[in-house]
Amino acid sequence: MINLYIKERQAGDVTVLDLKGRVRVGGATVALHKSFRSLVQEDKLLILLNLAGVTHIDSSGLGELISSHITVFNKGGEIKLVHLTETLRELMTVTKLLTIFDVYENEADALLSFRSHVSRVKESKLFFV
């Protein structure tokens, strides 16, 4: 059974998590939860999940994506998805999760989409100063 491997890298203000393997009940979901919790504690709230290497995701994995999305959103951040496999896209369409997450075909477009968030946050902070 393949575990989940998570590689973290920075692209400007955005933290990219490259996921590879299976997101399922047990260790994989725990590892993903710890990654999200660590990013929130470090105030890294702009997160891009690269799902190109994900071969399987179960209901527990989907639940973790949803709860992490809510946590990050409530802290003023965003989680976006890139490189969904055909299987993941079908699963996320059936479960209506495509209505919750911004999904991109390529990383460049996904990273550009965070720029509007960054400028909105900076404007709102300036507004209240």
Chain segment 28-82, per-residue pLDDT in tens:
778 899 999 999 999 999 999 999 999 889 989 999 999 999 999 999 999 999 9
The predicted model scores a pTM of 0.87
| Res 124: pLDDT | 47
Q: Which of 64, 65, 55, 57 is nearest to 23 (CA)?
A: 57
Flag whether pLDDT at 125 surpasses 60: no
Question: Which CATH architecture group holds 5-128?
Answer: 2-Layer Sandwich (3.30)
pLDDT computed for residue 126 by the predictor: 43
Residue 119 binned pLDDT confidence (cut-offs 50, 70, 90): low
Q: For the chain, which residues make up each domain, given as ranges?
A: 5-128
Largest CA distance in the chain: 52
- How far is it, in rounded angstroms, from Cα 124 to Cα 129? 9
